[in-house]
Amino acid sequence: MSFFSEALWVLLLGSLLGLELIGKVPPTLHTPLMSGANAISGITMLAALTLIIKSGDNLPLLIIGSISLGFALFNVIGGFLVTDRMLAMFSRKKTRK
Amino acid sequence: MTFIGSIKFAIDLLAVLLLALGIKGLSKVRSAREANRLAAIAMILAAFGVLMNSQGTIGIPINSWVWIICGTLIGGLLGAFTAKKVPMTAMPEIVALFNGCGGMSSLLVALGVALFPSSDGSDGLVSELIRNLSIVVSLFVGAITFSGSIVAMAKLQGWLSTPSWTQSKARHFFNILCAVIALIGGIYLAIDGQNGLFLIVVASSLLGIGVTLPIGGADMPVVISLLNSYSGVAAASAGFVVGSQLLIVAGAMVGAAGLILTQVMCDGMNRSLVSVLFGGALGANTVTSGGGGGEYTNITSCSPEECALTLEAAERVVIVPGYGLAVAQAQHTLREVTRVLENADIEVTYAIHPVAGRMPGHMNVLLAEADVPYEQLKEMDVINPEFPATDVVLVLGANDVVNPQAKNDKSSPLYGMPVLDVQEARTVFVVKRGMSAGYSGIKNDLFDLQNTSMVFGDAKKVLGDLLLELKELGVGSKG
């Protein structure tokens, strides 16, 4: 099977999984869930990494890759930390309840 | 498969599993924090997997390492700094900003591969046409995500207002034009791999702006959630570009989950996605829409002392917290006031509008911080029938969500928005800094009603004064 047809299967199954993962979300969690999903979408940092690794001595490409990686990591690290900050407040509430 | 190849494969599988568990766990209160950490670990694993190529990490040239470390340090540190410093009240903006950067990242990868086709990294795994199509999708979705998110952030920050042309039919024409130009650019690029590149980037960026700019602040969280879903799509298409199945599956998962979350949020706010995207801003142009304008004619203002006297005589009190309370950081003072009232056997509940604060769930975070018992927080559908039996409603820095126009005035831009029926209560006190309008920019008919009194001032200061007055009256001292 070619990469492309495999990749299409992966795309299909991944989408179906994503649709199933979130069922009922309490309104309380809308904000943190959005922020967490947003951090995960920074997974595109893998593409940036691949680009840098494969670009060899091509300086413009290295620069593009590096900027791209910077943007992605800003998203990933910032996203996870800010989500954690929000969720920390909920867990405090939980222990008091 | 080589030994290192098998390890890399195992790491990828584990990363996908953890990501899926992470997204699932984030939708339950009990597991949310652990789930967030799980997803973070999955990301680290995934990055590690990419860095292990056929000869292990030794195979990566020094020069690449330098650029990897530069990008990681700058992006990572800025992200960490932003996440620590941003106030809780600015959460919607910051999610939009992070999201836009994710879109930009996908866009840049596609741009790099399109400009230097020899280094696509997919090692001829896909045919040229398919690769070009993936580039087109990445550029298109990435650019919309970036420009749309930045506009969303700027509007929420108040840096951008809603221009009047975006409320007319002209915007549909503009957006369709941009979409058509992007499509033409896409066809060009798909065929010859070079031309049409900048046409797509520029046209899709403009499309992102054109779609987001007309949307009002109250609907913005829905748009951000949708753009969040797009950035997953952009990541998946970047996965096709560089030939990474891990990226495809993760991007697809986030894209689909984001779509569901957007739908859930729309349901919570009782808005349809179509009306959010194409209906225009709520009340962005009060003058032309006819409703909502006009001067206040019957404003009653009163002091915290009068307010305290009324509260003393009450049996049922409902608190309506809003954005103003969050800004004034008054949730702790509020909690003290309600403790005093509870000691005097006055029943106190909190009415939480679905979009109280600035995003769904925002107010719950802030009240949790002030140690308000969870059972006292009531959602709109539960509390609305109870207002006629309520003696005093205390509106703290909320505005549009208590505007009766949404129910009574068909010409009002707010018409149809679910609101709290506070005017049904016997007395309503509105604590507000001035007479300025809320998010929607619309006059609030509630303020003109006979049973409404305004208590002007910063929420924290007014509540502080109220607390003193109540104590002076001996409320809740059980003596």
Q: What is the ipTM of this complex?
A: 0.91
Active site residue B421: no
**A-B contacts (CB, under 8 Å):** 409
Q: Do residue B67 and residue A7 have CB atoms under 8 angstroms apart?
A: no
Q: Does A59 touch chain B (CB under 8 A)?
A: no
Q: Does A96 touch chain B (CB under 8 A)?
A: yes
Q: Which of A38-42, B1-5, B225-229 has the lowest mean pLDDT?
A: B1-5
Alpha-carbon distance B9 to B11, whole Å?
5
pLDDT at B115: 86
Which entry of B12, B120, B219, B400 is annotated as an active-site residue? B400
With contact defined as beta carbons under 8 Å apart, do A58 and B116 qualify? yes
pLDDT surpasses 60 at B413: yes
pLDDT band at A31 (very low <50, low <70, confident <90, very high): confident
Nearest alpha carbon to residue A54 among B56, B44, B51, B250: B51
CA distance A60 to chain B (A): 8
For B58, name the nearest residue in chain A, comparing CA atoms only: A53
For residue B472, give Cα distances in angstroms to B309, B316, B319, B475: 11, 21, 22, 8
CA distance A95 to chain B (A): 11
Burial of B451 (0-12, 13-18, 19+ CB in 10 A): middle
Choose the mutation target among B51, B253, B267 for the interface with A, i.e. most A CBs under 10 Å: B253
Alpha-carbon distance B356 to B372, whole Å?
16
Alpha-carbon distance B478 to A62, whole Å?
73
The residue among B191 and B203 whose pLDDT is bigger is B203
> What global pTM score does this model have?
0.80
pLDDT tens readout for residues B236-251: 999 988 888 899 999 9
C-alpha gyration radius of chain A? 18
Q: Which of B46-55, B58-67, B344-353, B431-440 has the highest mean pLDDT?
A: B344-353
Q: Do residue B249 and residue A97 have CB atoms under 8 angstroms apart?
A: no
pLDDT surpasses 70 at A20: yes
Mean pLDDT over B92-101 rounds to: 91
pLDDT at B353: 83
pLDDT surpasses 50 at B291: no
pLDDT band at B280 (very low <50, low <70, confident <90, very high): low
Q: Taking CB atoms and an 8 Å cutoff, what residues of chain A touch B225? A: 34
Helix axes B62-85, A45-54, angle to 10 degrees: 160
Alpha-carbon distance B458 to B144, whole Å?
39
Exposure of B268 in the CB half-sphere (CA atoms within 13 A): 27
Q: Taking CB atoms and an 8 Å cutoff, what residues of chain A touch B323? A: none
Q: Which of B64-78, B126-140, B148-162, B210-224 has the highest mean pLDDT?
A: B64-78
pLDDT at B78: 94
CA distance A15 to chain B (A): 5
Q: Which of B111-120, B288-297, B378-387, B398-407 has the highest mean pLDDT?
A: B378-387
Residues in a beta bridge with B131? none
Say what percent of chain B tops pLDDT 90: 25
Mean pLDDT over B254-263 rounds to: 89
pLDDT band at B189 (very low <50, low <70, confident <90, very high): confident
SS3 B225: helix
Nearest alpha carbon to residue B393 among B355, B416, B415, B424: B424
**Which amino acid, residue B45?**
L
Q: Do residue A49 and residue B33 have CB atoms under 8 angstroms apart?
A: no
For B239, name the nearest residue in chain A, comparing CA atoms only: A47
Residues B303-329 as b/e (b if ≥16 CB within 10 A, e otherwise) read: bbeebbebbbebebbbbbbbbbbbbbb
User: Count H helices, E strands: chain B?
Assistant: 18, 7
Q: Which of B113-122, B130-139, B372-381 has the lowest mean pLDDT?
A: B113-122
Q: Do residue A21 and residue B46 have CB atoms under 8 angstroms apart?
A: no
CB atoms within 10 A of CB B478: 8
Nearest alpha carbon to residue B441 among B217, B224, B220, B171: B217
Say what percent of chain B tops pLDDT 70: 89
pLDDT at B118: 65
Q: What is the mean pLDDT of chain B?
A: 83
The residue among B445 and A90 whose pLDDT is bigger is B445
pLDDT surpasses 80 at B452: yes
Q: Do residue A21 and residue B30 have CB atoms under 8 angstroms apart?
A: no
For A4, name the nearest residue in chain B, comparing CA atoms only: B126
pLDDT surpasses 60 at B140: yes
Q: Taking CB atoms and an 8 Å cutoff, what residues of chain B touch A53? A: 50-51, 53, 60, 64, 68, 121
pLDDT at B40: 94
Q: Do residue A47 and residue B106 have CB atoms under 8 angstroms apart?
A: yes
The two tokens of residue B433 are 């800094």
For residue B456, give Cα distances in angstroms to B78, B140, B299, B445, B459: 40, 49, 11, 17, 9
CA distance B296 to chain A (A): 35
pLDDT surpasses 80 at B356: no
How does DSSP classify residue B445?
A: G
Mean pLDDT over A81-97 rounds to: 71
Q: Do residue A11 and residue B121 have CB atoms under 8 angstroms apart?
A: no
Q: Do residue A67 and residue B253 have CB atoms under 8 angstroms apart?
A: no
pLDDT band at B279 (very low <50, low <70, confident <90, very high): low
The residue among B154 and B286 whose pLDDT is bigger is B154
Choose the mutation target among A8, A17, A50 for the interface with B, i.e. most B CBs under 10 Å: A50
With contact defined as beta carbons under 8 Å apart, do A79 and A36 qualify? yes
Q: Taking CB atoms and an 8 Å cutoff, what residues of chain A touch B35? A: 36
Residues B374-408 as b/e (b if ≥16 CB within 10 A, e otherwise) read: eeebeebeebbebbeebbbbbbbbbbbbbbbbbbe
Q: Does A9 touch chain B (CB under 8 A)?
A: no
Alpha-carbon distance B408 to A97, whole Å?
40
Among candidates B82, B121, B254 on the partner chain, residue whose Cβ is nearest the Cβ of A40 = B254
Q: Do residue B252 and residue A56 have CB atoms under 8 angstroms apart?
A: no
Interface of A with B in 61-90 (CB under 8 A): 61-90
Mean pLDDT over B67-82 rounds to: 93
pLDDT at B126: 62
Mean pLDDT over B295-305 rounds to: 81
Q: Taking CB atoms and an 8 Å cutoff, what residues of chain A touch B26? A: 29, 32-33, 36-37
pLDDT surpasses 80 at A94: no
pLDDT at B284: 40
SS3 B150: helix
Nearest alpha carbon to residue B119 among B105, B107, B131: B131
pLDDT surpasses 70 at B184: yes
pLDDT at B125: 57
pLDDT at B402: 86
pLDDT at B308: 87
The two tokens of residue B352 are 């939480």
pLDDT tens readout for residues B463-475: 898 888 888 887 7
Q: Do residue B83 and residue A39 have CB atoms under 8 angstroms apart?
A: no
Among candidates B39, B242, B254 on the partner chain, residue whose Cβ is nearest the Cβ of A18 = B254
Alpha-carbon distance B265 to B247, whole Å?
26
Mean pLDDT over B25-30 rounds to: 84
Alpha-carbon distance B328 to B379, whole Å?
23
How does DSSP classify residue B426?
A: S
Mean pLDDT over B80-97 rounds to: 87
Alpha-carbon distance B260 to A23, whole Å?
8
Q: Do residue B254 and residue A25 have CB atoms under 8 angstroms apart?
A: no
pLDDT surpasses 70 at B94: yes
